[in-house]
Amino acid sequence: MQTIERNGNALAYIHAPGKGPTIVFLPGYASDMSGSKAVAIDTWARETGRACLRFDYAGCGESGGAFADQTLESWRDDALAVIDAATAGPLVLVGSSMGGWIMLLTALARPERVVAMVGIAAAPDFTDWGFTPEQKAVIQAEGCLREPSIYSPEPTVTTRRFCESGEANRLLGAPIDIPVPARLIHGQRDPDVPWEHSLTLAGLLRSDDVQTILVKDGDHRLSRPQDIALILKVIEDLSAAS
């Protein structure tokens, strides 16, 4: 594991050198590079000699910083900083949930480098559609929303600063000028991100080479062996063609 410094925080990352475009895994909200999908992609990349990068946003996993101090923009900039420091050449971005939003923002910021994208239950604009009016009122009034998580013993914390950053970076209201091949994988039993959002995203991306892959019995995490096998096959096919 290596680190770089950004804004006083040590950002942790693991880079496996190899052939082809570098596969960059972008974790979801409050997630990190030790998740099953990230580890599976890293393992597959090493076994096949592919270049791969996984990392933790500030305030997450092995990286420094306080989680509550982070915003969507700061995590986007974390991703760009690690990518710029650790890699060279073309990139295949793989974004899980909120990581799918950061995937899009990263592709817009580095259009000369990104050659393909894979969204896994991608959740762009979730600060808009992901909360009820009552939850939004709590965030605005109290500056923070804490909710039980089905994925962690710790509550999920959403701050007003994060939501304001998200609202300033919404993408689903207009065509998205990313012309590269994209694959959007989504479980139709996802309780957190409606699968229809992947269809909306597919329609907005400027590329004609976009496929939405629906897993009828898939949940939000898509971490079962058959889900991971599908994700790896999609990454392999896109990487070979890039």
Q: Which domains does the chain have, with CATH numbers?
A: 2-125+178-241 (3.40.50.1820)
Residues annotated as catalytic are: 97, 190, 220
Q: pTM of the entire structure?
A: 0.95
Backbone φ and ψ of 43, nearest 5°: -60, -45
pLDDT of residue 76: 98
pLDDT of residue 241: 77
Q: Which residues of the chain have pLDDT under 50?
A: none
pLDDT of residue 242: 74
DSSP category for residue 164: H
Q: Side-chain half-sphere of 47: how many Cα atoms within 13 Å?
A: 8
Identify the CA nearest to 58 among candidates 4, 8, 11: 11
pLDDT in tens, 130-186: 999 999 999 999 999 998 887 778 888 999 999 999 999 999 999 999 999 999 999
Six-digit token string for 88? 């060279």
